[in-house]
Amino acid sequence: MKNHSKWVENEIYAKRMSRLRSATAKPVLGTLINLLIMKKVNTRGIAQTEKHVLMASLCYNLKKFMNLKLKKPE
């Protein structure tokens, strides 16, 4: 409950953390769910699901890395 009370009592902290999470984590999750077909994971067991999520996040990071490296230098 410590974190919850921090959010409830300190409005400035809550707004700052909400903006930070909206800018960093939510777009990544949205991309994984919509573009990398993570709405439903068709595997059995935790180990297989972890592999599926790991591969999806690897693909996401690889796509970002390729876009970064393929830009021509000026």
For residue 20, tell me if it sits in a domain. yes
User: What is the domain range of residue 14?
Assistant: 2-69
pLDDT band at residue 30 under the 50/70/90 scheme: confident
Q: Is residue 62 part of a domain?
A: yes
Q: Residue 68 — very low, low, confident or very high, per pLDDT cuts 50/70/90?
A: confident
64 to each of 25, 31, 33, 41, 72, how far by Cα in Å?
A: 15, 12, 16, 23, 15
Asked, for residue 11, whether it belongs to a domain, the answer is: yes
Asked whether residue 35 is assigned to any structural domain, the reply reads yes
Alpha-carbon distance of 41 to 49, in angstroms, equals: 7
- Planar angle of CA 64, 30, 25, nearest 5 degrees: 75
Indicate the number of domains in the chain: 1
Average pLDDT over residues 56-63: 85
Is residue 74 a part of any domain in this protein?
A: no
In-domain check, residue 25: yes
For residue 55, being part of any structural domain is answered with: yes
